[in-house]
Amino acid sequence: MKAPLPPGAVCYNLGHISRIPRGEGRTYRLQDRLIAVFRSRNEELFATQAHCPHQGGPLADGIIGDGKVICPLHAFKFDLRTGAPLGNSCPGLRTYPVSLDAEGNILVTVED
Partner 1 sequence: MTRKQRLVVIGNGMAGARLVEEIVSRPGGEHYEITVLGAEPYGNYNRILLSGVLAGSYCPEHIFLHPLSWYQEHGIRLHAGRAVTAIDWQGHRVQMADGDWESYDRLVIATGSSPYLPPLENLLREDGRLIAGAFTFRTLDDCQALLAYSSQARRAVVIGGGLLGLEAASGLRQRGLEVHLVHRSPHLLNLQLDSVGGAILARLVSEQGVQLHLGKETVAMLGQDRLCGLRFSDGSELACDLCVIATGTTPNIALARAAGLAVKRGIIIDDDLACSVPDIFAIGECAEHRGQTYGLVAPLWEQARILAERLTDSTSRKQYTGSAISTRLKVSGLDLTVMGDKEPAGPDDEVITYAEPTRGIYKKLIIREGRLQGAILLGDLPGSVPAARLVQLFHRGDPLPANRVELLFPCNGKNQQAVSVAELPDDTQICNCNGVSKGAILAAVRAGKRSLKALCDATRAATGCGSCKSQVQELLVLACEGEVVEDPSVHYYVPAIPLTKPELVRVIKERGLRSVSAVFQALANGQEDPTSKAGLASLLKTIWGKDYEDERDARFINDRVHANIQKDGTFSVVPRIYGGVTTPEQLRRIADVAEKYHVPLVKITGGQRIDLVGVRKEQLPAIWKDLGMPSGHAYTKAFRTCKTCLGSDFCRYGLGDSTTLGIKIEKRYQGIEMPHKVKLATAGCPRNCSEATTKDLGAVAIEGGRWEIYVGGAAGSRVRKGDLLCTVNTHEEVLLYMGRFMQYYRENAKYQERSYDFVERIGIEQLRRVLVEDAEGICARLDRDIQAAVEAYVDPWQREAEQPVTPTQFSEALEATPISLGAGN
Residues that bind ligand FES in the complex, under the rule CB under 6 A: 52, 54-57, 71, 73-74, 76
Binding flag, residue 99, partner 1 (CB under 8 A)? no
Determine the residue type at 39.
Answer: R
* Of residues 7-46, those binding partner 1 (CB under 8 A): 7-15, 19-24, 26-31, 34, 40-41
* CB 99 to ligand FES: min, Å: 27
Q: How far apart are CA 40 and CA 62, in angstroms?
A: 12
Q: How far apart are CA 8 and CA 45, in angstroms?
A: 23
Contact 83, 3 (CB under 8 A): no
31: alpha, beta or left, given left = phi > 0 and alpha = psi -120 to 50? left
Q: Which does 54 bind (CB under 5 to 8 A by kind): partner 1, ligand FES, none?
A: ligand FES
Residues forming the site for partner 1 (CB under 8 A): 4-15, 19-24, 26-31, 34, 40-41, 50, 55-58, 61-66, 68-70, 72-75, 77, 79, 82, 84-85, 87-89, 91-92, 107-108, 111
